[in-house]
Structure 1
Amino acid sequence: MRSLIILVFIFLITGTSVSQTDKANIEKEAQTYYDYMTAMNLDKVLDYMHPKMFEMATKAQMKAAMEQMFNSPQMKIEFITNDVTSVSDTMDEAGVTYAVVYYESKMRMIFTSEKDKPEEERTAYLELMKSTMSSQFGADNVLIDNETTSLIIDNTSTMFAIKDPQFEGWKFLGNEKNMAAFVNSIVPETIRTTLLNK
Structure 2
Amino acid sequence: MSKLNKHILNCLLFTFFILLSVTGFSQNNQETQKHLDSLTLKMFNDMNQRDYDAILEMTHPKVFEMVSKESLKNVFKSMFEGTEEFTIDVPKTIPDYKISEVFINENDSLQYAFVSYDMKMNMTFHNQNFDDAAKEMMIPMMKSKGIDVTFISENSMSMFMNNRMTIMLKDNHTNHKWVMVNYDADSPLFYQIVPTSLLESAKEYNQNLMLESAKEKEE
Normalised to the residue count of structure 2, the TM-score between the two structures is: 0.65
SS at match of 2:123: strand
Verify: 1:88 aligned to 2:100, yes or no. Answer: yes
Could you tell me whether the CA contact under 8 Å between 1:27 and 1:84 is conserved in 2?
no
Instruction: Tell me which residue corresponds to 1:175.
Output: 183
Q: Which has the higher helix share?
A: 1
With over 3 angstroms needed to count, the CA separation of the structure-2 counterparts of 1:61 and 1:188, relative to structure 1, is closer
Aligned-pair RMSD on alpha carbons?
2.9
Which residue, out of 126, 132, 152, partners 1:145?
A: 152
The one-letter code sitting in structure 1 at the alignment partner of 2:95 is D
* Deviation digits for residues 15-63 of structure 1 (CA, Å, limit 9, x no counterpart): 63x2x33223212212321232244322221111111100012111211
Q: Which range moved further: 51-60 or 186-195? A: 186-195
Instruction: Tell me which residue corresponds to 1:134.
Output: 143
Task: Give aligned-pair identity as a percent.
Answer: 22
Pairs within 5 Å for 1:88-127: 88-93=100-105, 94-114=108-128, 124=132, 127=135
Instruction: Tell me which residue corresponds to 2:211.
Output: none
With over 3 angstroms needed to count, the CA separation of the structure-2 counterparts of 1:57 and 1:98, relative to structure 1, is same
Could you tell me whether the CA contact under 8 Å between 1:144 and 1:150 is conserved in 2?
yes
With over 3 angstroms needed to count, the CA separation of the structure-2 counterparts of 1:191 and 1:131, relative to structure 1, is closer
Q: How far off is 1:105 after superposition?
A: 0.9
Instruction: Tell me which residue corresponds to 2:36.
Output: 26
The one-letter code sitting in structure 1 at the alignment partner of 2:124 is I
Q: How far off is 1:122 after superposition?
A: 5.8
Instruction: Tell me which residue corresponds to 1:3.
Output: none
In the alignment of these two chains, the number of paired residues is 172
Verify: 1:160 aligned to 2:172, yes or no. Answer: no
Q: Which sections of structure 1, spanning at least 5 residues, go unmatched?
A: 1-14, 115-120
SS at match of 2:181: strand
Normalised to the residue count of structure 1, the TM-score between the two structures is: 0.70
